[in-house]
Structure 1
Amino acid sequence: MSNEDSRYEAVRSRDARFDGAFFFAVSTTGIYCRPSCPATTPRRRNVTFFPTSAAAQGSGFRACRRCRPDAVPGSAEWNARADVVGRAMRLISEGVVDREGVRGLAARLGYSTRQVQRQLNAELGAGPVALARAQRAHTARILLQTTGLQAAEIAFAAGFASVRQFNDTIKEIYALTPSELRAARPGRTARFGLVAPYATTGVLPLRLAFRGPYAARQLFDHLQRRALTGIEDISGEVGARTYRRTLRLPNGTGIAEVDEATGDGWLNCRLHLTELRDLTTASQRVRRLFDLDADPYAVAERLGEDPVLARLVAQRPGLRAPGAPDPHELAVRAVLGQQVSLAAGRTLGGALVAAYGEPLPEPVGPLTHLFPRADDLAQASLAELGMPESRRATLRTLGAALADGTVPLDAGVDRDQAEHALLGLRGIGPWTACYIRMRALGDPDVLLSGDVAVRAGMRRAGAPTAALAAHAHGWRPWRSYAMHHFWNVPTTEPADIRPPTTESTGP
């Protein structure tokens, strides 16, 4: 929404489509809210709009206790944008400022700290420190309301430098002390916020927000067909499945459990973390995997302009483009899947995990390992995989490039530069580089024009395949979602996503 009158109309209609896209604050109450807040609509002259919750907090407004604006899904704009602001927002959500400071953020972006500060303030009304502070406060609220941890433990787990800083921030943002905020934990009838029971020892129950419809069945099908033995598991019947996987995190390890059944705009998730400091990073990685910050309304509006895609969008509202919890892992798995069937790629991945994965201290059911580190693969023989030596050499080359940073793959990387670096590795061609860009880097606008499964899905749906790149220009900036719709066109066999036959030659 480009003007304030349009935003006010969204507030008047309590339009949840714009939760997370902007926030509004009321001067007479000193409170800021999400657009769908059920409270009485304030008068227009008393309303100010902000692009982020941090900007509202920086202007002296506190979070509404009724609609909990800090619990909204993230803006899809940050995934779509390739500029420094979009890249910075992705890194901040990963907890980079908490771990590395503003200097670390700026170094990753390739800008000076002053440039980063200026651009974020100019566009978002808040700098990196304020944006990270708002995220820490949200993490602290989750821990206060879902665990029995002491306040001091929560303060440092959320990333605060001191208990005093934690107390002051919580009181400023929520107008409550930490003890009062814990006592104000929302009940089961609350419309917004966390309503899961208190965590059992070592388990953090979360409800991960998303906007609009959510095609959970298709996403869980996608994950189930690709689940690697040892690091992933899906159990239960369709419609009530639970996905579990191991996570390698900055300070420790974790296991994420996500339920297929969706509530009123939430996915139920449970995190088992060896270090609570990893909560922000772990939750963000799960969000990326399940594409929870997508804007299905914007996707449907653009793709609906294509007659064939309009029909597919209507059949599968809220279809997501799965991301990846670990970019390095996804890159390795993409190479493993070159020139083989989906089942064969899964078998190779399981063999790689068994041979080179890091065993968990204690297995948790079928979850036994973490995915291998890139540097462990750089010098490995990989003989256990039974692959051609040329493919094993590609895996070693990729592992070395990921380990030494020749190919940077993180939340804030320049996607064009990352793709170019991948194409510079022998054995990696355009399909693999673009697939990694789409899933590992979360680019919503990737077109695998040579993908045989996309073209097969288009033919089954009755879409023209001639001059695909030109035809797909009208799908931008959501071409990744268009491909997922064509991959999900029914067939007698699940469509394998595989590269064209020329991929294995590489550059």
Structure 2
Amino acid sequence: MDDDSRYEAVRSRDARFDGVFYTAVRTTGIYCRPSCPALTPKRANVTFHPSAAAAQAAGYRACRRCRPDAVPGSAEWNLRADAVGRAMRMIADGVVDRDGVTGLAARLGYSPRQVQRQLTAELGAGPVALARAQRAHTARILLRTTDLPVTEIAFAAGFASVRQFNDTIRQIYARTPTQLRGSRTAAPRDGAGVPLRLAHRGPYAAREVFDFLARRAVAGIEEITGEPGTRGYRRSLDLPHGTGVAEVGESGGPGWLPARLRLTDLRDLTTAVQRLRRLFDLDADPYAVAERFAADPRLGPLAAARPGLRSPGAAQLHELAVRAVLGQQITVAAARTLASTLVAAYGKPLPAPDGALTHVFPTADALAEAPLTELGMPDTRRRTLRALCAALAEGTVVLEPGADRDAAQAALLALPGIGPWTAGYLRMRALGDPDVFLPGDAGVRHGLAAIGAGPGDAGGWRPWRSYAVHHLWRAAGDAQLRVSPAVPS
């Protein structure tokens, strides 16, 4: 896009570009999301910025009406596998807050100066400024949803000092922390955790996403509550500073899902939110996916029937790797049973049970030397599982936000018992690659047959083949229901 096309998006209040770029108005000193409902500024008064951090660095404060700091992240960072894309995923996960710019650079394999230069060139802000913008957003959430003292919020949000916290809030929001807290909308709160609205762009096929998660829910670490249409997905989280319990609702308002987080340490708020966003694929661009699929006469009708179908990721990446091995060559229900047995035997108990949630998933270290005799599966599969967990614990295989996808896939394939399906499935879900196709998957083959397509047709679905896989899985389930109505999809 050039600036003229960006201005046209602002004139039409096009929400498709929220999070893709930000609009700053010289005469007011405010920056907005493209869909801001305020009066459209004159073209001569507008500048555009590739990130909220860049707008803040240029001296603009966030619009109080459209809250541009709360928009979904750009889908570009899910798609891109270069250093900048990887860095953005790591910053979102809180790597800079925990390990500094040096830690971020080490993960990327660059010097801190190179990382600073690349991010500034593309986003108008370096890693410190990008992390600072994220910390400010976290602080705003805590100020408006909890009764914690301001000092505690400053450190929970990741600020190094109260003075730095106060200065940042005043600069970004043109208010003091106390004023920002006082302006919150009065609402009944039960005090149990931090309530959130998880923003997404465009349509969101919540029913299908919750169906997908419900079929795979593992006892002890996951549960589904309520009935279709009003369901809640609950799960435990093992986080850098402690544990947590997350709940996400199926029915929210336009553009968001309701959520609540209960954390043993509030410093984990940013990381926990980002894990939920990855799990529910909330930063996707459904408009781009729909536009690509609409041109295909076979896949197009599936995409039109389920607008906003997502490709769910993972909340715990090593957990998904273990579950993928457990699920090799068996049904989803059988894999879920094995995973539940594993959690009961080796999982770490929560400080206190929370509903049906009793444990967090066992660590890779714990499973690397475990006998795994509780699992009724072949010895070769147990050896594969232990080898995978040892590689994860030692860092031979790296599964983390921003990991190099090609390197991770190659390392997985080098392990005994890990084939193309397992490596591809992990690349799609654990590493968030939107362009993975699984031609050897039985559900994909059945889905292709149901729509009269073949594996060769998948080339036309790039770069969104992961979403095509989910449409094919649904098509296979629908075809099975037509043949055997008593068999669930």
Report the equivalent of 2:479. 491
| Cα deviation 1:198-255 (Å, max 9, x = unaligned) | 6533410000000000000000000000000000000111000000000000000000
2:249 alignment partner, SS class: strand
Report the equivalent of 2:463. 477
| Cα deviation 1:319-378 (Å, max 9, x = unaligned) | 000000011000000000001111111110111001111111211111011001001010
Report the equivalent of 1:191. none
State the one-letter code of the partner of 1:340.
I
Match of 2:427 among 437, 443, 451: 437
Report the equivalent of 1:32. 31
Match of 2:378 among 363, 378, 388: 388
The answer to whether the Cα contact below 8 Å between 1:147 and 1:198 also exists between their aligned partners in 2 is no
For residues 109 and 422 of structure 2, the distance between their equivalents in structure 1, rounded to whole angstroms, comes to 26
Match of 1:368 among 333, 350, 358: 358
The answer to whether the Cα contact below 8 Å between 1:336 and 1:345 also exists between their aligned partners in 2 is yes
| Cα deviation 1:104-142 (Å, max 9, x = unaligned) | 000011110011000000010000000000000000000
Question: Post-superposition shift, 1:461?
Answer: 2.1
2:19 alignment partner, SS class: coil
Report the equivalent of 1:61. 60
Say whether residues 1:206 and 2:196 are aligned partners: yes
Question: Post-superposition shift, 1:491?
Answer: 2.9
Say whether residues 1:114 and 2:102 are aligned partners: no
1:361 alignment partner, SS class: strand
1:312 alignment partner, SS class: helix
For residues 390 and 347 of structure 1, the distance between their equivalents in structure 2, rounded to whole angstroms, comes to 19
Say whether residues 1:159 and 2:158 are aligned partners: yes
Match of 2:316 among 314, 323, 326: 326
Report the equivalent of 1:313. 303
Question: Post-superposition shift, 1:473?
Answer: 1.5
For residues 200 and 101 of structure 1, the distance between their equivalents in structure 2, rounded to whole angstroms, comes to 35
2:374 alignment partner, SS class: helix
The answer to whether the Cα contact below 8 Å between 1:303 and 1:309 also exists between their aligned partners in 2 is yes
For residues 159 and 87 of structure 1, the distance between their equivalents in structure 2, rounded to whole angstroms, comes to 21
Question: Post-superposition shift, 1:186?
Answer: 4.4
State the one-letter code of the partner of 1:444.
P
Equivalent pairs counted in the alignment come to 481
Report the equivalent of 2:128. 129
For residues 362 and 149 of structure 1, the distance between their equivalents in structure 2, rounded to whole angstroms, comes to 22
For residues 459 and 249 of structure 2, the distance between their equivalents in structure 1, rounded to whole angstroms, comes to 36
State the one-letter code of the partner of 2:459.
H
For residues 198 and 207 of structure 2, the distance between their equivalents in structure 1, rounded to whole angstroms, comes to 17
For residues 198 and 334 of structure 1, the distance between their equivalents in structure 2, rounded to whole angstroms, comes to 41
Report the equivalent of 1:240. 230
Shift in alpha-carbon separation, 1:262–1:494, aligned structure 2, 3 A: farther
| Cα deviation 1:388-412 (Å, max 9, x = unaligned) | 1000000000010000100001001
Question: Post-superposition shift, 1:308?
Answer: 1.3
The answer to whether the Cα contact below 8 Å between 1:216 and 1:262 also exists between their aligned partners in 2 is no
Question: Post-superposition shift, 1:275?
Answer: 0.3
Say whether residues 1:344 and 2:343 are aligned partners: no
| Cα deviation 1:16-71 (Å, max 9, x = unaligned) | 11111110000000000000101000000100001100000000000000100001
For residues 186 and 280 of structure 1, the distance between their equivalents in structure 2, rounded to whole angstroms, comes to 22
Q: CA RMSD for the aligned pairs?
A: 1.2
Question: Post-superposition shift, 1:262?
Answer: 2.6
| Cα deviation 1:432-451 (Å, max 9, x = unaligned) | 00100100011100011111
Shift in alpha-carbon separation, 1:68–1:147, aligned structure 2, 3 A: same
The answer to whether the Cα contact below 8 Å between 1:91 and 1:412 also exists between their aligned partners in 2 is yes
| TM-score w.r.t. length of structure 1 | 0.94
The answer to whether the Cα contact below 8 Å between 1:202 and 1:273 also exists between their aligned partners in 2 is no
State the one-letter code of the partner of 2:127.
P
Report the equivalent of 1:194. none
For residues 460 and 340 of structure 2, the distance between their equivalents in structure 1, rounded to whole angstroms, comes to 39
Q: Unpaired segments of 5 or more residues in structure 2?
A: 484-489
Report the equivalent of 2:442. 452
For residues 136 and 255 of structure 1, the distance between their equivalents in structure 2, rounded to whole angstroms, comes to 21
For residues 483 and 63 of structure 1, the distance between their equivalents in structure 2, rounded to whole angstroms, comes to 39
Say whether residues 1:262 and 2:252 are aligned partners: yes
Match of 2:349 among 359, 382, 407: 359
Report the equivalent of 2:100. 101
Report the equivalent of 2:283. 293
Instruction: Judge which range, 390-399 or 485-494, deviates more.
Output: 485-494
Question: Post-superposition shift, 1:471?
Answer: 2.2
Question: Post-superposition shift, 1:493?
Answer: 4.9
| Cα deviation 1:166-196 (Å, max 9, x = unaligned) | 0000000000000111112246xxxxxxxxx
Q: Unpaired segments of 5 or more residues in structure 1?
A: 188-196, 496-507
State the one-letter code of the partner of 2:96.
V
For residues 494 and 281 of structure 1, the distance between their equivalents in structure 2, rounded to whole angstroms, comes to 42
Report the equivalent of 1:19. 18
The answer to whether the Cα contact below 8 Å between 1:73 and 1:211 also exists between their aligned partners in 2 is yes
For residues 294 and 482 of structure 1, the distance between their equivalents in structure 2, rounded to whole angstroms, comes to 14
- Of all paired residues, the percent bearing the same amino acid is 70
The answer to whether the Cα contact below 8 Å between 1:84 and 1:109 also exists between their aligned partners in 2 is yes
For residues 205 and 494 of structure 1, the distance between their equivalents in structure 2, rounded to whole angstroms, comes to 41
For residues 378 and 356 of structure 2, the distance between their equivalents in structure 1, rounded to whole angstroms, comes to 29
1:247 alignment partner, SS class: strand
**Runs of 4+ with deviation above 4 angstroms:** none
The answer to whether the Cα contact below 8 Å between 1:334 and 1:436 also exists between their aligned partners in 2 is yes
For residues 53 and 261 of structure 1, the distance between their equivalents in structure 2, rounded to whole angstroms, comes to 28
The answer to whether the Cα contact below 8 Å between 1:148 and 1:198 also exists between their aligned partners in 2 is no
The answer to whether the Cα contact below 8 Å between 1:26 and 1:47 also exists between their aligned partners in 2 is yes
Instruction: Judge which range, 470-479 or 15-24, deviates more.
Output: 470-479
Report the equivalent of 2:173. 174
For residues 307 and 119 of structure 1, the distance between their equivalents in structure 2, rounded to whole angstroms, comes to 41
For residues 54 and 328 of structure 1, the distance between their equivalents in structure 2, rounded to whole angstroms, comes to 31
State the one-letter code of the partner of 1:381.
P
For residues 366 and 494 of structure 1, the distance between their equivalents in structure 2, rounded to whole angstroms, comes to 34
State the one-letter code of the partner of 1:266.
W
Say whether residues 1:416 and 2:416 are aligned partners: no
Question: Post-superposition shift, 1:494?
Answer: 11
For residues 398 and 198 of structure 1, the distance between their equivalents in structure 2, rounded to whole angstroms, comes to 47
